[in-house]
A and B are shown apart, each in its own frame.
Chain A
């Protein structure tokens, strides 16, 4: 039995028919073909699947697709204004070499943007490290991720995003 579901993904209407058990991340990856959002675990620990749902960061493996009915979802694919103009957080990750294999990166970037906003663009290293507890990275040792987020906070503020 399938259930119709409709939401806005990266500003565009998206709909489909899903099973009740279909997770939001499955809907994004398998139904919409938006594979930028990754699945790195099965216990909602790694954070590779973080997206924004109605402006808040959410692990899309912990939410059913049907729970996102009518929601505004933003994924990593929807952040940059254009290929030339990335979101300040994406730019900071590039500038600071905050990614290696790239697998955790979408979730890191989405979590980091939400973190900066929740802290009103004011962050220190200890706060960033504590706030990253829901995102695992095995490559970078977090050093450059922390640097990137600290650099992005004022850049996001001045860009008004």
Chain B
């Protein structure tokens, strides 16, 4: 049984039946009797004073139920949205925290900022009425260009953050790193822009809320990756509804990639307004609203320098980064370019000295926060770009330069100079395997063959490390995080022996309903069809932190393992009683309690039944029932690592880049379901390829208009932009969690941009091009080849 459904098996997903037959239930699918529909009026300006709002004509439109503006919210003393991570600057001062009103009161600060909410009997009527609201704006100069955001005289986004500076933060000792540079035989320098991305989960954000006048209870259905955290924020900081009177349900959620972690204006507004309107309110973003208002990702400007000795050993790394925060600080925005970025700058290497300085800047653009990888793709792009550039400058093989500097497998646990202690890893076999799969040896022949067809062929490496499985609560607290980062689980047996696993994690594509069931099937010997995973409802599941940062299996799965251990411990006592044996003599093997050396046996199901029908049961010593809870707080992050090799062909006539081979070899520790892990890697790679070749969030630098505001303008990766992938894996089990697992959700997106861009640069080196910005669109590649970019 466990061989087919346990840990390591390619179990087909339990989720698929409903998704394949159109019976999934996403927020917008909910049938709510007497529902009203909300539509938000959004700022058309990047920066303006609101002189007046006239809703009188709109209120008289057909079907309109209510209209609310920022003034209504302010009068009701609704709190602002919070940033939940306090980063202290290099002087020990907490970051600047300008207010983030749920709806703009007198100033709008980005195109899409929320100005008014119309509630009507239908969505079309709400939209029609919204057009009849008259708003008089006094348009101000906007601060849009990140490269100039901190310049003297740049338009100020918030008076609370003079000069638009949220923090000036550093890690490492600059003088020590400078001394290492003074001794260097070679210094490689790089200037990069990590392009701004829009997450684009296929299901737009949505929220629906209902208020029960009789009980005073609110229910919010939200496309959230972490319903308990959302409830906590809304209760404790924003709306003041007591936690036990607010139920948050995140049902089927169509992808998140980080963008659905955060507490947004819209779910706040529909919840607040539901009690005022007295009917349920539904809101679903149109895609253009998602483009404008979902928290964006990345958006760094970085200068980095790598010092090497004469043999190519890394001596030191210096990094200066300006990170865009947008117009307001989103929920975890401040942590992304600091603790999730600069602490990863050691990569897989023994670089002994690292200094990073990060300045976070406000601009009149949408808020920027965690997006698949969150800080780690930016760090990997810096390291893996500069290492490949150094190899080129030193005329060394890029794989060889990496190998020369890898942390040796004997050095774990390995303390990096930037705070993290890597728990485990073995990097050389990973790159060896990738080189084998990619046929690196045969590359020059392929390059020559491509040249005969007029194509420029290149190959690029990216050897990433990431810290995920967030995370040890104590460390998170020391770094300024406002929440714990444990995860919860409950294993609830029913009297007939089937099992409900309740988890505080949330699945929005990750396949927890299958993976978590495999873990329990394996551990307790219960047939997988008798196991149900329940998640996403604060009323039924234990308080949990939700899913992001590749944490669900490493942290949530560990909690499940702990709860399963409690089931076994209790079952042993019951079985000992039933078998008239000593507890110490009882062992649990493949779903059955046995007394070693005898033929006495009690299947788990029998012990469970006895626990619910305790007629022959040690009631004096043991509670009835079989329902065990666990909370697991990890002792460290987990550190997946891998190497990707990308091979491209560039058409010098058109500038078009085609990915012709893509190899990824990862170490995710032990693997519960290889099919699901491979799917995560495929999807991650394509998001990384999207960043490298296609995707770019562009604002007009004068007006702050979002130019890439639809699928007609923002290039999403499509099926014919990518090849099929060649994957491999190596295993060094995580030494500190019970499953030995590391996170796999973000790795693909973390490593891929550097692999692709290193391949593009390798392809273009023979024609004298050393740098193409991301995304390497046909236009920018053609311009680089033809010297037209300046």
CA distance A136 to B690 in the complex (A): 13
Q: By the criterion CB–CB under 8 Å, are B253 and A93 in contact?
A: no
Given known contacts A77-B23, A90-B20, A101-B509, is B722 in contact with A142 (CB within 8 Å)?
yes
Query: Cβ of B254 < 8 Å from any Cβ of A?
Result: yes
Interface hits, A81-108 → B, CB 8 Å: 83, 86, 90, 93-95, 97, 99-106
Closest chain-A Cβ to B417's Cβ sits at a distance in Å of 35
Q: By the criterion CB–CB under 8 Å, are B685 and A141 in contact?
A: yes
Closest chain-A Cβ to B774's Cβ sits at a distance in Å of 18
CA distance A125 to B29 in the complex (A): 34
Closest chain-A Cβ to B283's Cβ sits at a distance in Å of 14
CA distance A80 to B678 in the complex (A): 28
Q: By the criterion CB–CB under 8 Å, are B683 and A43 in contact?
A: no
Query: Cβ of A45 < 8 Å from any Cβ of B?
Result: yes
Given known contacts A43-B710, A93-B16, A94-B16, is B683 in contact with A138 (CB within 8 Å)?
yes
- The prevalent SS among residues of B at the interface is loop
- Closest Cβ neighbor of B255 among chain A residues: A101
CA distance A133 to B719 in the complex (A): 6
CA distance A79 to B17 in the complex (A): 13
A142's contact among B25, B678, B686, by CB below 8 Å, is which? B686
Task: List, in ascending order, chain A residues with CB within 8 A of B675's CB.
Answer: 97
Closest chain-B Cβ to A85's Cβ sits at a distance in Å of 11
Given known contacts A46-B202, A100-B683, A103-B254, is B26 in contact with A38 (CB within 8 Å)?
yes
Q: By the criterion CB–CB under 8 Å, are A99 and B716 in contact?
A: no
Q: By the criterion CB–CB under 8 Å, are B21 and A103 in contact?
A: no
Q: By the criterion CB–CB under 8 Å, are A99 and B16 in contact?
A: yes
Q: By the criterion CB–CB under 8 Å, are A141 and B683 in contact?
A: yes
A103's contact among B255, B679, B683, B711, by CB below 8 Å, is which? B255
Q: By the criterion CB–CB under 8 Å, are A143 and B254 in contact?
A: no
Q: By the criterion CB–CB under 8 Å, are B124 and A45 in contact?
A: no
Q: By the criterion CB–CB under 8 Å, are A141 and B725 in contact?
A: yes
CA distance A36 to B124 in the complex (A): 21
Q: By the criterion CB–CB under 8 Å, are A101 and B719 in contact?
A: no
Interface hits, B13-48 → A, CB 8 Å: 13, 15-26, 28-29, 31
CA distance A60 to B95 in the complex (A): 48
Task: List, in ascending order, chain A residues with CB within 8 A of B720's CB.
Answer: 126, 129-130, 132-133
Given known contacts A36-B21, A101-B255, A103-B26, is B724 in contact with A138 (CB within 8 Å)?
no
Query: Cβ of A67 < 8 Å from any Cβ of B?
Result: no
Q: By the criterion CB–CB under 8 Å, are B716 and A94 in contact?
A: no
Task: Specify which of A33, A75, A97 lies most central, judged by the most chain B CB atoms within 10 Å of its CB.
Answer: A97
Task: List, in ascending order, chain B residues with CB within 8 A of A137's CB.
Answer: 202
A102's contact among B252, B286, B719, B722, by CB below 8 Å, is which? B252
CA distance A88 to B254 in the complex (A): 24
- Closest Cβ neighbor of B15 among chain A residues: A102
Q: By the criterion CB–CB under 8 Å, are B200 and A138 in contact?
A: yes
Interface hits, B301-330 → A, CB 8 Å: none
Task: Specify which of B12, B24, B204 lies most central, judged by the most chain A CB atoms within 10 Å of its CB.
Answer: B24
Q: By the criterion CB–CB under 8 Å, are A103 and B725 in contact?
A: no
B711's contact among A19, A34, A43, A126, by CB below 8 Å, is which? A43
Q: By the criterion CB–CB under 8 Å, are B23 and A138 in contact?
A: no
CA distance A95 to B683 in the complex (A): 18
CA distance A125 to B19 in the complex (A): 24
Interface hits, A136-161 → B, CB 8 Å: 136-147
Query: Cβ of A71 < 8 Å from any Cβ of B?
Result: no
Query: Cβ of B632 < 8 Å from any Cβ of A?
Result: no
CA distance A47 to B713 in the complex (A): 16
Query: Cβ of B287 < 8 Å from any Cβ of A?
Result: yes
Task: List, in ascending order, chain B residues with CB within 8 A of A138's CB.
Answer: 200-202, 255, 257, 683, 687, 716
Chain A 29-43 interface 0/1 with B at a Cβ cutoff of 8 Å (1 = within): 100011111111111
Closest chain-B Cβ to A62's Cβ sits at a distance in Å of 13
Task: List, in ascending order, chain A residues with CB within 8 A of B511's CB.
Answer: 100
- Closest Cβ neighbor of A95 among chain B residues: B12
CA distance A139 to B508 in the complex (A): 10
Task: List, in ascending order, chain A residues with CB within 8 A of B724's CB.
Answer: 125, 143, 146-147
Query: Cβ of B682 < 8 Å from any Cβ of A?
Result: yes
CA distance A109 to B287 in the complex (A): 22
Q: By the criterion CB–CB under 8 Å, are B19 and A139 in contact?
A: no
Task: List, in ascending order, chain B residues with CB within 8 A of A39's CB.
Answer: 28, 204, 284
Closest chain-B Cβ to A100's Cβ sits at a distance in Å of 4
Query: Cβ of A48 < 8 Å from any Cβ of B?
Result: yes
Interface hits, A50-69 → B, CB 8 Å: none
Q: By the criterion CB–CB under 8 Å, are B202 and A103 in contact?
A: yes
User: Which A residues have a C-beta under 8 Å from some C-beta of B?
Assistant: 19, 21, 29, 33-43, 45-46, 48, 75-77, 79-80, 83, 86, 90, 93-95, 97, 99-106, 109, 125-126, 128-130, 132-133, 135-147
Q: What 17 additional pairs, Cβ within 8 angstroms, besides A130-B719, A141-B685?
A: A39-B28, A43-B711, A43-B712, A45-B711, A79-B21, A90-B20, A100-B509, A102-B24, A109-B20, A126-B720, A135-B719, A136-B716, A138-B202, A138-B257, A139-B255, A140-B683, A141-B725
| Chain A to chain B: the 4 pairs with minimum beta-carbon distance, closest first | A36-B22, A103-B254, A102-B19, A101-B509
